[in-house]
Structure 1
Amino acid sequence: MIDIHSHILPGIDDGSRSLSMSLEMAKQAVENGITHMICTPHIHSGYFDNSLKTIKPVFHELQHALIKDKIPLSLSYGAEVRVSEQIPEWVANNAIPFLGTLNSKKVLLLEMPHSHVPVGVEMLIKWLLSKNILPVIAHPERNRELLAEPLKFERLRNTHALFQITAGSLTGRFGEKVQGFARSLVETKKVHIVASDTHNLTKRPNDMREAFQFVSNTDAEFAKKIFVTTPSLIISAVNSDK
Structure 2
Amino acid sequence: MIDLHSHLLPGVDDGAQTLEEGLALARLAVDDGIKVSVVTPHVHPGRYENFRTALLPRLTAFQEALVAAGIPLQLRLGGEVRLGVESLELLLDGEIPFLGEIDGYRVMLLEFPHQSIPVGSQQFIEKLGQLKVRPLLAHPERNKAIMAQPDRLVGLLEAGCWLQLTAGSIAGRFGEASQQVARRILENGWAHVIATDAHNLQHRPPRLREGFLAAADIVGESAAWKMVSQRPAEILGLPCN
TM-score category, normalised to shorter length:
over 0.9
| SS of residue matched to 2:211 | helix
| Residue in 2 that maps onto 1:221 | 222
> What letter matches 2:93 in structure 1?
N
Q: Which runs of 5+ in 2 are unaligned?
A: none
Distance in 2, Cα, partners of 1:127 & 1:193: 23
CA contact 2:195–2:228 (8 Å) conserved in 1: yes
Post-superposition shift, 1:237? 6.2
Distance in 2, Cα, partners of 1:110 & 1:82: 6
- Number of matched residues? 238
> What letter matches 1:67 in structure 2?
V
Distance in 1, Cα, partners of 2:194 & 2:91: 26
Distance in 1, Cα, partners of 2:9 & 2:150: 33
Distance in 2, Cα, partners of 1:45 & 1:101: 24
4+ runs of 1 displaced by more than 3 Å?
Answer: none
> What letter matches 2:230 in structure 1?
T
1:21-49 Cα distance to aligned partner (Å, 9 max, x none): 11110011111111001010001111111
Root-mean-square deviation over aligned CA pairs = 1.3
| SS of residue matched to 1:14 | coil
Structure-to-structure mapping, 1:144-183, within 5 angstroms: 144-183=144-183
Q: TM-score, normalised by structure 1?
A: 0.95
Q: TM-score, normalised by structure 2?
A: 0.95
| Residue in 2 that maps onto 1:45 | 45
| SS of residue matched to 2:75 | strand
Distance in 2, Cα, partners of 1:217 & 1:52: 38
| Residue in 1 that maps onto 2:83 | 83
Distance in 1, Cα, partners of 2:88 & 2:79: 16
Distance in 1, Cα, partners of 2:175 & 2:99: 29
Q: Which runs of 5+ in 1 are unaligned?
A: none
Post-superposition shift, 1:68? 0.7
> What letter matches 2:228 in structure 1?
F
